Structure 1
Amino acid sequence: MPKKIPMRQCLGCREMKPKRELIRVVRSPEGEVSLDFKGKKPGRGAYICPDAQCLARAKKARALERAFSAQMPEEVYAALADQMREGGDE
């Protein structure tokens, strides 16, 4: 019997994709928002494609605000874009 592949929806393009193909955006219990390339950080998670266009769409649709039920300052989006460009060096 083949293993079930967990699927998640991207906040930007709204497509269902395998969890491993997406980047997890996590809001820690302290309220800090960051990218989680390994999927292990504690906190509330939302998923986004590793594509700057999907991040821009999520920003325009205010998808992160809805996912985390909190206001997202502009600096958060800039930091997420920088982390996405750098890739998963964590």
Structure 2
Amino acid sequence: MKKRKVPMRKDIVTGEMMPKRELIRVVRNKEDEVSVDPTGKKAGRGAYIAADVKIATRAKKERTFDKAFGVKLDDAFYDQLIDYADHLQERIKLFGHV
């Protein structure tokens, strides 16, 4: 059986290439609204971050998505991102995958 190619994406905080399934997609739409994209299919410019609370906290500290998307984001977005990363980490612990 032929082995499938695993899509890889770069984590914008660490710069590390990782499998797409292990990352969280954050998207900016045409109205410059930035949101977490759990489906990975929202329209707009996407950027990826590892599903890790430490990395999400680092993104908040460094204002990574402000720079990546060229918009000013409030702390509520970063708090939501940290909560979502925590949720995914717990899910991985329970079920072994996302």
Name 1:47's counterpart in structure 2: 48
Structure whose alpha-carbon radius of gyration is higher:
2
Query: 40-49 vs 79-88, which deviates more?
Result: 79-88
Which blocks of at least 5 consecutive residues in structure 1 are unaligned?
none
Higher RCO structure (Cα 8 Å, ≥6 apart): 1
Summarize the alignment of residues 38-77 of structure 1 with structure 2, pairs less than 5 Å apart.
Answer: 38-77=39-78
Name 1:84's counterpart in structure 2: 85
Amino acid at match of 2:41: K
Q: How many pairs are equivalent?
A: 88
Alignment pair present for 1:36 and 2:33: no
Please, what TM-score do these two structures have when normalized by structure 1? 0.78
Q: Could you tell me the percent identity over the aligned residues?
A: 47
Name 1:23's counterpart in structure 2: 24
Amino acid at match of 2:36: L
- The C-alpha deviation readout for 1:46-70, integer Å capped at 9, x for no partner, is 1011111111122222221121011
The structure with the greater share of residues assigned to helix is: 2
Alignment root-mean-square deviation, CA: 2.1
SS in 2 for 1:25: strand
Amino acid at match of 1:63: T
Please, what TM-score do these two structures have when normalized by structure 2? 0.73
- How far does residue 2 in structure 1 lie from its aligned partner after superposition? 4.6
Alignment pair present for 1:8 and 2:5: no
Matches of 1:9 and 1:66, distance apart in 2: 16
